[in-house]
Amino acid sequence: MGRKTRKRSKLANRAIVSTLALILGGGGLVAVNVNASAGEGRSGQKAQNPYAGRQVSTIDCPEVADGLPREMPPPARAEVDREMAAMDTQIADAYQRFDERREQVQSDPAVADETILDPLQDDRRKSIDRIVAAIERNGAQPRGMQGMAACTMRTAAGDDDEDDADDDDDDNEVKGNRPGGGNGNGNRPPNRPRPPGNGQGGSGQSGNGPVRSDFVDIRSVRPNVQSAQQRRGSSRGTFSSNCGVNAAGLFNSDNVIVAPGVSNGAHHMHDYIGNQGNDAFASDEDLARARTTCSNRGDRSSYYWPVLRVQNGRAESDANQDGGGRDKNVGEIQTPTQVTLSFRGSAVGKVTAMPRFLRIITGDAKAFVNGPGNANASWSCTGFEDRQLKDKYPICPSGSQVVRTFNFQSCWDGRNTDSANHRTHVAFADRNGRCGQGFKAIPQLVQRIVYKVPPGPGFAVDSFPEQLHKPVTDHGDFINVFDRKLMDRMVGCINRGEKCR
């Protein structure tokens, strides 16, 4: 397998400026006055711990991208992107310190405060100050960003009930109907293998996920797929592009959309099909000149997503590399058995051409700590694709394969090929298929990726370390590098109701 790897630069030494004290008695978390002694609350009384018996599993920081101005001054973009990527590295490094001191953190709150949270928050504050200064130098006025430096430690819902891998009690079974869960009924089919989980927030050799409650048997999920009703004048055609399955093994842990110019900006490995020149340093011109795996050479677009691994205890060749084992991503990378790339029309009207170099991200790589607002994961099994899971991995019956589906945004603001948070220049159509005011319907990319994995649980997507390989963090990336002739053909085909490739 061919991989591009680079060493991540070391951040400056951290100054420790304490603003919080934490009590972590019994694995829980309570914020208290900095002058109170460990084990005492604000009044000097012994603090009551509402999380007693639970394991602190990860680090939760506000998403600074949400505080960026909608219209980013172009001269500030490069510096802002660098600092945003630096903050991802800061969190990854802090998670590594937490993982190395997990037992100490559980018993001594000073360890979390002094070695994990305070240095992290100080680094974030400095990065945010540089972002604000870069934006202000170019005329914009960001507001409220300085308040986004603070981070907390938290438990992962569903992790703390996985305390005994050998316990056969019902409480330790997969619950398909947990809050935000996969619409299952929680029943355990006969002889179904147990999902992984060691009670410490993780499984396998990575030690940070997934856990039992991240899996559900697809047969326990009710059909839940709904589509907008096609109206008169809709564009019902489809255009398909065949770009292979990444059989040549092009991987890297960069992300040229979110972290241009930054090595290991994703902290997890991506599969790449289509454009073969995509790394952190690729310009639009580089992408336009690069080779493509697509059968139609007019499509040099870049399609990429986090790799899926089977956590079978076998060391992958990137076990000691950034984006791999160093970022808590372990196991054998799986090559898809099938990848389908389809572009579809609008349920209410015609579509217009995408601008060249339009960038779209669907889903949220940080949805576990950010919340599900931007999550768009769709997990299922062949033969059961009318049942889609957002925050669970599917356990597929014999003869069925795991399916990941990415439905990309299909509305464009008509002006920008990207935006400061990489989201606001595109949007999803509403439940009736209409784009919002000022947005135009464009062909909707639908990626369908199929894998043959061993029966039962034991697989996971790569993720940022602190996201614990949760299925809700799944996401897809697309950069449009169709030539104009082929894009016009796509639009005409879709608007005429034809099926083309």
State pLDDT tens for residues 276-314. Answer: 999 999 999 999 999 999 999 999 999 999 999 999 888
Which pLDDT does position 441 carry in this prediction?
A: 98
- Residues 294 and 395 both lie in one domain: yes
Which pLDDT does position 395 carry in this prediction?
A: 97
Last residue in a domain, options 114, 131, 155: 155
Does residue 7 lie within any of the structural domains?
no
- Residues 114 and 263 both lie in one domain: no
Does residue 5 lie within any of the structural domains?
no
Nearest by Cα to 5 from 484, 294, 329: 329
Which pLDDT does position 205 carry in this prediction?
A: 52
Which pLDDT does position 21 carry in this prediction?
A: 30
Which pLDDT does position 209 carry in this prediction?
A: 86
CA distance 305 to 324: 15
Domain that holds residue 362: 212-500
CA distance 65 to 494: 34
450: Cβ–Cβ under 8 A, 6 or more apart, which residues? 336, 337, 338, 339, 382, 401, 402, 403
- Residues 150 and 224 both lie in one domain: no
Is-contact 390 368, C-beta < 8 A? no
Which residue matches tokens 């870049």? 302
pLDDT in tens, 95-105: 999 999 988 88
- Residues 46 and 148 both lie in one domain: yes
Which pLDDT does position 206 carry in this prediction?
A: 60
Last residue in a domain, options 111, 134, 155: 155
Which pLDDT does position 150 carry in this prediction?
A: 95
- Residues 249 and 355 both lie in one domain: yes
Please state the domain count of the chain.
Answer: 2
Which pLDDT does position 405 carry in this prediction?
A: 98
Q: Which stretches of the chain score pLDDT less than 70?
A: 1-54, 156-207
Last residue in a domain, options 107, 138, 155: 155
Does residue 422 lie within any of the structural domains?
yes
The CA-atom distances, in angstroms, between 248 and each of 81, 229, 335, 354, 478 are: 30, 40, 9, 29, 19
Which pLDDT does position 165 carry in this prediction?
A: 34
The pTM of this model reads 0.82
- Residues 339 and 485 both lie in one domain: yes
Which pLDDT does position 54 carry in this prediction?
A: 57
Does residue 367 lie within any of the structural domains?
yes
